[in-house]
Amino acid sequence: MSLVSIILTLIVIGILLWLVNSYIPMDGKIKSILNAVVVIAVVLWLLQAFGVLGALNGVHVS
């Protein structure tokens, strides 16, 4: 994955999160949980994209 595609993906995710936060009315607690989940998912994806974190294929949540 090239650096340009990673940056474009981050921009798209940021714009989508901003749109959800701005235009969809929801409670502040739900909004903060949503933001935290998205940030954690993006950080894990970036760590995997740069090879710091191994493949997440073997991770199973039960």
Q: Which residue has the tokens 């798209």?
A: 12
Q: What is the reported pTM? A: 0.77
Q: Is residue 34 part of a domain?
A: yes
Q: Is residue 59 part of a domain?
A: no
pLDDT tens digits along 23-36: 999 999 999 999 99
Q: Could you tell me the two tokens for 28?
A: 């502040």
Q: Is residue 60 part of a domain?
A: no
Q: Is residue 32 part of a domain?
A: yes
Query: Residue 20's domain spans which residues?
Result: 3-54
* Per-residue pLDDT at 12: 96
pLDDT tens digits along 8-59: 999 999 999 999 999 999 999 999 999 999 999 999 888 888 887 776 666 6
CA 42/CA 36 separation, integer angstroms: 10
> How many structural domains is the chain composed of?
1
Q: Is residue 61 part of a domain?
A: no
Over 70: is that where the pLDDT of 7 sits? yes
